[in-house]
A = this chain, B = another copy of it.
């Protein structure tokens, strides 16, 4: 029913994985990259970044090995594993969110990494996102239609969500032209 339901893939973890596709790195650097490149898309505190990386490691999506440094504290060098790579590209091409927030966050992140690692599948990714939006607009429209008229707060909420989705459609159309994404 609602967007609070977290689908499990709305999280910066795939972004961290995405940065590791380009080569090994460590927590501090990944957080830096994240902040400068996607800092206004979503926020990730340093401690959160480390927590997510720890989780990715226990799951086997990345592997860590310590690199001593002469003066500064030791680094945990992180590499993406085959499994992590697999999960990342699955997310890149399959993962879709349906609410305004997750679209802004996830779609932009996906676009960013698709540009980097899979430019050839951008139009596919774009299409599945717009399709998802269209279908969730339809769902919402029928929901609103059948809503008892006395439920004014529920109606106001659904109305706004609908308008937000339509706004996102326009915003995405803009992106299509900006990125020269072909229609399929």
Interface residue ranges, A against B (CB under 8 Å): 1-5, 37-44, 100-101, 104, 108-109, 111-112, 143, 147, 151, 153-161, 163-164, 167-168, 171, 175
Contact = CB atoms under 8 A, between A and B. Distances in A.
Nearest to A109: B153
A103 to B, nearest CB: 9
Main secondary structure of the interface of A (DSSP, over half): helix
Give the number of copies in the complex. 2
Nearest to A12: B4
Nearest to A5: B43
Which of A104, A156, A158 has the most chain B CB within a 10 Å cutoff?
A156
Contacts of A175: 156
Nearest to A3: B43
Contacts of A38: 153-154
A167 to B, nearest CB: 5
A161 B168 CA distance: 10
A44 B39 CA distance: 30
A104 B157 contact: yes
Given A101-B100, A163-B167, A171-B163, A108 B43 contact: no
Contacts of A5: 43
Contacts of A153: 37-38, 40-41, 108-109, 111-112
